[in-house]
Amino acid sequence: VASGSTAALASGLAPLPVPEPRASINARVRLSGDGRLALSWPAGPDTPGPMLVWDLLENAIVARVPRMPDMRDAQFIMQGERILIIAAQTVEIRDSATGRKLGQFSPDAPGRPRLTLSPGGRFAAVPVLREDTGPAIAVWDLATARRTQLQPVVAATAVAVDAAGRYLAVGGRDSR
């Protein structure tokens, strides 16, 4: 649970300070689901500096991740084992412990990619616009950075994908 500049660990330990990057006073911070890891980076796109992965129990930086120039957001996925980075036209997956790049893909989404994550964060459903079939939902396996399915849809205003990446629930204006 995050509040202001502290994070309380799920195990009930005392709150610890969430460190900020030295390159900026104004930082964005994301916590892993168990509250053990924090991801921080300068909030301004013009402020230099990498994303930092902090182990909050050790109060130490465990990885430095370079920021893409068009980065929009980042978050922990797969129980904190990976970092999902969303840029203007690409999605990047990195290892939380090392910062090593594990994969990257371009979802072919109009505008900024909108991702809906499965429970556990292994799969992402992304609305795409295909020239040959029109609107569709692409499902990506974030462990391998590979597209696993492409489902044509009439209109999708709400999307959900199950934890195994097999089933989609799609809602639209036509109530189907």
Q: State the Cα–Cα distance between residues 108 and 105, nearest whole angstrom.
A: 9
Q: Which residues of 3-12 are buried (b: 16+ CB within 10 A; e: fewer)?
A: eeeebbbeee
Say what the pLDDT of residue 112 is.
64
Q: Which residues of 39-71 are buried (b: 16+ CB within 10 A; e: fewer)?
A: bbbbeeeeeebbbbbbbbeeeeeebebebbeeb
The tens digit of pLDDT for each residue in 87-143 reads 888 899 999 999 999 999 887 766 666 889 999 899 999 888 777 767 888 899 999
Angle at 53 between CA 44 and CA 46, to 5 degrees: 15
More confidently predicted of 38 and 107: 38
Say what the pLDDT of residue 18 is.
58
Return all residues near 58 (Cβ < 8 A) that are at least 6 apart.
none
Judge whether residue 53 has pLDDT over 70: yes
More confidently predicted of 171 and 5: 171
Q: State the Cα–Cα distance between residues 169 and 176, nearest whole angstrom.
A: 10
Q: Which 3 state secondary structure label does DSSP give 103?
A: strand
When the pLDDT of each residue in the chain is averaged and rounded to a whole number, the result is: 82
More confidently predicted of 102 and 150: 102
Return all residues near 159 (Cβ < 8 A) that are at least 6 apart.
116, 125, 127, 137, 168, 169, 170, 171
Angle at 1 between CA 26 and CA 126, to 5 degrees: 75
Percent of the chain scoring above 70 in pLDDT: 80
What's this model's pTM, rounded to 2 decimal places? 0.77
Tell me which of 14-18, 40-44, 48-52, 154-158 is least confident.
Answer: 14-18
Judge whether residue 13 has pLDDT over 70: no
Say what the pLDDT of residue 25 is.
62
Q: State the Cα–Cα distance between residues 78 and 33, nearest whole angstrom.
A: 9
At residue 51 the predicted structure's pLDDT band, cuts being 50, 70 and 90, is: very high
Q: State the Cα–Cα distance between residues 120 and 77, nearest whole angstrom.
A: 7
